[in-house]
Amino acid sequence: VKHPLQNCWTLWYFENDRNQPWEKNQREIASFQTVEDFWSLYNHIKPSSELKQGTDYSLFKKGIRPMWEDDQNKRGGRWLFSLEKKQRSNDLDRYWLDIILCLIGEAFENSDDICGAVVNIRYKGDKIGVWTQDANNGTAVLEIGRKLKERLHIQARTIIGYEVHKDTMDKTGSSSKYSYTV
Ligand code: M7G
Nearest CA to ligand 1 atom 3: 120
The atom number, within ligand 1, closest to the CA of 129 reads: 3
- pLDDT at position 170 is 87
CA 114–ligand 1 middle distance (angstroms): 20
C-alpha 72/C-alpha 66 separation (Å) is: 10
Bridge partner residues of 3 (DSSP): none
The whole-model pTM stands at 0.97
Q: For 54-69, what is each residue's pLDDT tens digit?
A: 999 999 999 999 999 9
Q: How far apart are the C-alpha atoms of 160 and 102, rounded to whole Å?
A: 17
Distance CA 11, CA 28 (A): 6
CB-based contacts of 127, cutoff 8 Å, min separation 6: 80, 81, 82, 83, 118, 119, 120
| pLDDT band at residue 177 under the 50/70/90 scheme | confident
Q: Is the ipTM of this complex over 0.90?
A: yes
The set of protein residues with a Cβ atom below 6 angstroms from ligand 1 is 22-23, 67-69, 120, 122
For 81-126, the pLDDT digits (tens) are 999 999 999 899 999 999 999 999 999 999 999 999 999 999 999 9
